[in-house]
Amino acid sequence: MLKIYNTLSRKKEEFVPLTPGHVGMYVCGPTVYGDAHLGHARPAITFDLVFRYLMHKGYKVRYVRNITDVGHLEHDADEGEDKIAKKARLEQLEPMEVAQYFTNRFHEAMQQLNVLPPSIEPHASGHILEQEALVEEILKNGFAYESNGSIYFDVEKFHKSHHYGRLSGRNLDDVINASRELDGVGEKHNQVDFALWKKAQPEHIMRWPSPWSEGFPGWHCECTAMSRKYLGRHFDIHGGGMDLIFPHHECEIAQAVASQGDDSVKYWMHNNMITINGQKMGKSLGNFITLAQFFSGDHEKLEQAYSPMTIRFFILQAHYRSTVDFSNAALQASKRGLDRLMEALAALERIQPQQSGAIGKEMADELAQKCYDALDDDFNSPIVISHLFDACHTINQLIDGKQTISPEGLERLKEVFHTFTFDLLGLRNEAEGGNAGREESFGKAIDLLLEIRAKAKASKDWETSDRIRNELTELGFEVKDTKDGATWKLNR
């Protein structure tokens, strides 16, 4: 039984999809005005694990992750310039050129991190009509007002009949009372109101016609409009980073309730933040390190380059609801852990099983059960990793000849290791193709030498068999003769 922590109820709940066998999941995607940084990798990898595990459990999952290419203003107070338009003005580019460029870069980084593409990746700019329809519905229901060509959500009115602040736990009565003195400032009736539609200023390039003015939708509209279009008015999971709980997701709930009468989402899931020296890593805070910089090592805070899988492993080593503090030491430790896992996987291929092997299929079954239990407990990836590390210990004992395993036991152990490491945690052997292809050829050459040695021994050619063994030992190989043949490992 899968349990998911629901931010709305603040507890773990049994996961029961609205439609048996199917899951609809929406995750807030990136705003494409800059390179993806470590803070973007976390939700991408967190919900990639969720996506992979739900599919593994047999659900048919429709995973929607949007691209925000319009409407995200510099300050959360609906003031300031559109982030994408600002970047375009600075670099003399079409706004869509900027959005496309960074969308491509984002996809490239996601591919490197082995993050599966979502089922649908809608762009905000491609769904202006759907957003206008949403605004229309909210206006019709009386929860929004027009002011100088712009449309604002009437938070105070909404709060009288519905609870605004239930996701974030903010007490809006206090916020509303505190901001009442500011009434009449600007176009809003109240400082807590948020824009559903903004009239474009003459210099604003990104603009669309609407019944109210030529302008653009408010940032919160897109997720409500696009999730509704692709997942329906009610769907299972809505995810994103914790920093989106307020105001973004609070506003999404308000928009859904104000338009259709109830919230669309059954389970709200939020990943915690990545911090640098305890402070959130973010573009707007200017303390971020981009993924490309991690992969190349080209940043003053980085002591070395870190591969995409080291980053992925680093993120999965923490539960998604815990904070993760970036440091070189932590990443280096992740690299060692990942190496250990990959070495164990390679070693599994060299183990010679024995009919009378002491370890049977049960050990691997038990390992699988423990890992499933961890994932069923709100996707607890660090626990999965710790169980895999325990199994690495057994694998080393098998390689050292201190333990024996039956053929079925070995088959099942390989299967379980592959399922959790590759299919569910989504790790990739980075040596593959590059180094690993070479490692494999090199391993096979050693196997061949040991085969020649076995033949030499069988025909009592002791000179050849000793020579192979001695020279391999000198090169750092440890060759062990077992009754099922010789095994080897490289001790360096």
CB of 224: closest distance to Zn ion in angstroms? 8
CB of 247: closest distance to Zn ion in angstroms? 11
Beta carbon nearer to Zn ion, 28 or 364: 28
CB-based contacts of 471: which residues, under 8 Å, 6+ apart? none
CB of 28: closest distance to Zn ion in angstroms? 3
CB of 252: closest distance to Zn ion in angstroms? 7
Identify the three-state secondary structure at position 283.
coil
Beta carbon nearer to Zn ion, 28 or 276: 28
Could you give the CA distance from residue 424 to residue 2 in angstroms, rounded to a whole number?
15
CB of 227: closest distance to Zn ion in angstroms? 8
86-89 CB contacts, 8 Å cutoff, 24+ apart: 86/33, 87/33, 87/34, 88/205, 89/205
CB of 30: closest distance to Zn ion in angstroms? 10
CB of 153: closest distance to Zn ion in angstroms? 15
Distances from the Cα of 385 to the Cα of 113, 272, 314, 389, 392, angstroms: 18, 19, 11, 6, 10
Token match 């000849």: residue? Answer: 401
Distances from the Cα of 234 to the Cα of 22, 114, 351, angstroms: 13, 30, 51
Beta carbon nearer to Zn ion, 70 or 223: 223
Q: Please measure the distance between the N-terminal and C-terminal CA atoms of the chain and give it in whole angstroms.
A: 44
β-strands 3-6, 324-326: how paired?
A: unpaired
> 150 forms bridges with which residues in the sheet?
147
Beta carbon nearer to Zn ion, 28 or 345: 28
Query: What DSSP line would sit under 23-83, residue for residue?
Result: EEEEE---BSSS--BHHHHHHHHHHHHHHHHHHHTT-EEEEEE-BB-S--BSSTTS-S-BH
CB of 388: closest distance to Zn ion in angstroms? 34
Beta carbon nearer to Zn ion, 28 or 425: 28
Beta carbon nearer to Zn ion, 134 or 424: 134
CB of 57 closer than 8 Å to CB of 376: no
Beta carbon nearer to Zn ion, 124 or 363: 124
CB of 221 closer than 8 Å to CB of 247: no
Beta carbon nearer to Zn ion, 196 or 331: 196
Beta carbon nearer to Zn ion, 28 or 88: 28
CB of 216 closer than 8 Å to CB of 201: no
CB of 232: closest distance to Zn ion in angstroms? 17
Residues within the interface to Zn ion (CB under 5 A): 28, 223
CB of 75 closer than 8 Å to CB of 247: no
Residue 143 tokens read as 């929860």
CB-based contacts of 30: which residues, under 8 Å, 6+ apart? 36, 40, 67, 68, 102, 106
